[in-house]
Structure 1
Amino acid sequence: MKPIEQAIIEDLFEMGDGWILDFNNDSLQKFVKKSIDINIYKDENYTDYKSKAKKMKQIFEEESDKKVAKLLKDLIEYYEGYAYKNKKENRKEEIDEINKVIGRLSKAEGFSIDVQNNISWKKLEEEIEYYMKKDNYEFILDRLHTFTVKFLKYILEKHNIQSKNQKNNNLPLHSLIGNLKNYYIENNAIDSEFSLKAISINISLFEKFNDIRNNKSYAHDNIILNKIESEFVIRNIINTINFISNIETINEEKEFHLL
């Protein structure tokens, strides 16, 4: 959160003297607990005595972006009732600015998962770009395949979809994305026929990616795929992962706004 944004928040919620609007200790404790399931007086790291405003600033500094966004969203709703009851002036500009902060924070974490050696997709994508500039495609092909398998398994498990067959063996990459496509269809998660068709095409592409990883990368003692085709494969896989990641983020936001 930028300093100017925090200043607007502190001003709107009247935090200057250690207070927050008309909350007392008990009502603020219950409000925060209901909003983001944190007890600001009993939970770990929150037991030290602080003013209500400092407790709120601690949440801003220490909790996840999505929790802060959820709490700010609920505080805006509370403020609107408070302002009406106390005949306060319309602070639409400030509320609009805070809503922008809420929107950004609710997306900031995005669909971030630590699936390989605690490396998130964002960090891995940066690493891929770094190695591509150095023409180290043989390294990327194997690494990206490993990540893609774990990435899809994570999403399937998140949606309670099988990632193993009846013999409890892991499904191949193309079967994982096939199961995910079926989930998206059943839950109306994708709007356009184009996108569904693109995912269907990617099922067969992911099957070929298995072959490239096994027979044309450093996963084994192989002759490595040439630079031009390696980059073409990598770009296609990255685009698909980013698309799925964005679809998951959008659906998470829909759930967030329903809270």
Structure 2
Amino acid sequence: MSDLSKIQKTKIEKLFEMGSGYVLGFSNRTFAQFILEIVDKDIYEERYSIFGDSKANRLRAFWKLESNYLVAKLTLELLEHWKTNKSLLEIDIEPKENALYEECTKFLEALKNDGISEHIENLMEPDIGDNDFSLLARTIRDSIEKNEPEVALDRLHTYVVKYVRSLCDKHGITYDNNKPLHSFYGEYVKYLRKNSYIESEMTERILKNSISILDAFNDVRNNRSFAHDNKILNYHESMLIFKNISSTISFIESIEIKMQSSNKKIEDWELPF
């Protein structure tokens, strides 16, 4: 369920002229195609008919049923469609319309950045010479965008394994491939501490605690994800795991960027003899 307020919905509806039951001149076919392309949802599923069968009512149902991220993503695209059509038809946008467009865009962007969407960007695709890694990152992000973190848990685990191993390889940290994720992650944390890349005792403690978290993640992956024929973990706990893991990755990546910047400065100052 999205957090669009009644007033916000009213403003969008006014811009889209939804009072008649239509949405931006779409036919049933083009409306369905547009939404399928943008958010991979079939707007003519039965679940979207809770307010009625018109295109406007189905869009209202989408706003009610879907996540902040998906609602904002689709509605922002509809706003751009509105603006593009005006341009193509050479219809001037009145100042009041433009102000409403700008206002709707602003609160929808805020809605899009709320909750899980900020964590999606933490799943970067570092250059580790593995094409499968990029595909893995994209499939995880797809699941999160669809508000289905529970179905991505096994792939998230594989992602973290590949990512941490790439960091160990990068810094010459030896590890045993047969050992679990938390073991070689612990070797990486030791490397950070030994080389003074961690400035505070609290940060070090948080990273040490994340070792035990990744140990527990091994169990979730094996017994509560689609890695095997398991009863999948519930949505809210899956979301908590995803946010925790993605925050850790984001912090580690910030350290790696700092390392790279520091090494570049040293190289720049090296004398040619």
Residues 30-179 of structure 1: pairs in structure 2 closer than 5 A: 30-41=33-44, 43=45, 45-46=47-48, 50-84=53-87, 85=89, 86-90=91-95, 91-110=97-116, 157=159, 160-162=162-164, 165-172=176-183, 174-175=186-187
AA aligned opposite 2:94: E
Query: 2:256: which partner in 1?
Result: none
Q: How many residues align?
A: 168
TM-aligned CA distance change 1:37 to 1:203, over 3 Å: same
Counterparts of 1:24 and 1:75, CA distance in 2: 14
Query: Aligned with 2:53: secondary structure?
Result: coil
AA aligned opposite 1:157: Y
TM-aligned CA distance change 1:16 to 1:208, over 3 Å: closer
TM-score (norm 1): 0.51
Question: Offset at 1:104?
Answer: 1.9
Query: 2:23: which partner in 1?
Result: 20
Unaligned runs of 5+ in 1: 114-150, 182-195, 214-240, 249-259
Question: Offset at 1:83?
Answer: 2.1
AA aligned opposite 1:106: K
Q: Is the 8 A contact 2:12 2:104 kept in 1?
A: yes
C-alpha root-mean-square deviation of aligned residues, in Å? 4.4
Unaligned runs of 5+ in 2: 121-152, 166-174, 214-243, 252-273
TM-aligned CA distance change 1:58 to 1:212, over 3 Å: closer
Query: 2:265: which partner in 1?
Result: none
TM-aligned CA distance change 1:243 to 1:160, over 3 Å: closer
Percent of aligned pairs with the same residue? 22
71-80 vs 90-99, which moves further: 90-99
Q: Is the 8 A contact 2:28 2:55 kept in 1?
A: yes
Question: Offset at 1:206?
Answer: 4.5
